[in-house]
């Protein structure tokens, strides 16, 4: 086994996720921290102080939580650096799972019985 073959695997593993340096990690951390601060402001100030209705606050809170989940999966679980086929397979599967959960809640009557009438 030549010395070239031994180092090739190690170099490939290092270069594969080369986009995650300390600066990028701190940038993603800052974005996640900002989203968390906004969520706390909504939960502790905006909704109780009647600056935002509970209904709207819940939707904003869910959207911000999904955005945080995207950043965690994309950068810290390295999905952003995977091949497009794997990204699409996981994303489409996730969308269908959420879709089926919503359909089951609607068909079971939970959403209709517990949601305020618009």
- 49-99 pLDDT per residue, tens: 888 888 888 889 888 998 898 888 888 777 777 888 887 887 888 888 888
Inter-residue long-range contacts of 21-27, CB under 8 Å, 24+ positions, other chains counted: 24/75, 25/75
Provide φ and ψ at 51, rounded to 5°: -80, -20
CB of 88 closer than 8 Å to CB of 82: no
Domain boundaries, the chain: 3-81, 83-118
Provide φ and ψ at 28, rounded to 5°: -65, -40
Q: Taking the model in full, what pTM does it have?
A: 0.61
Give the DSSP letter of residue 51: S
What pLDDT digit, counting tens, does each position of 21-41 carry?
889 889 989 999 999 999 999
Q: How many CB atoms neighbour CB 47 within 10 A?
A: 19
């Amino acid at each position: 086994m030549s010395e070239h073959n031994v180092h090739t695997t190690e170099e490939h593993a290092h270069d594969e996720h080369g986009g995650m340096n300390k600066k990028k990690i701190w940038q993603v951390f800052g974005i996640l921290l900002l989203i968390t601060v906004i969520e706390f402001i909504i939960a502790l100030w905006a909704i109780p102080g009647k600056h935002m209705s509970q209904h709207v606050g819940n939707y904003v809170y869910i959207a911000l939580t999904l955005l945080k989940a995207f950043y965690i999966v994309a950068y810290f679980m390295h999905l952003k650096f995977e091949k497009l086929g794997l990204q699409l397979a996981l994303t489409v599967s996730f969308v269908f799972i959420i879709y089926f959960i919503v359909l089951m809640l609607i068909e079971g009557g939970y959403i209709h019985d517990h949601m305020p009438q618009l």
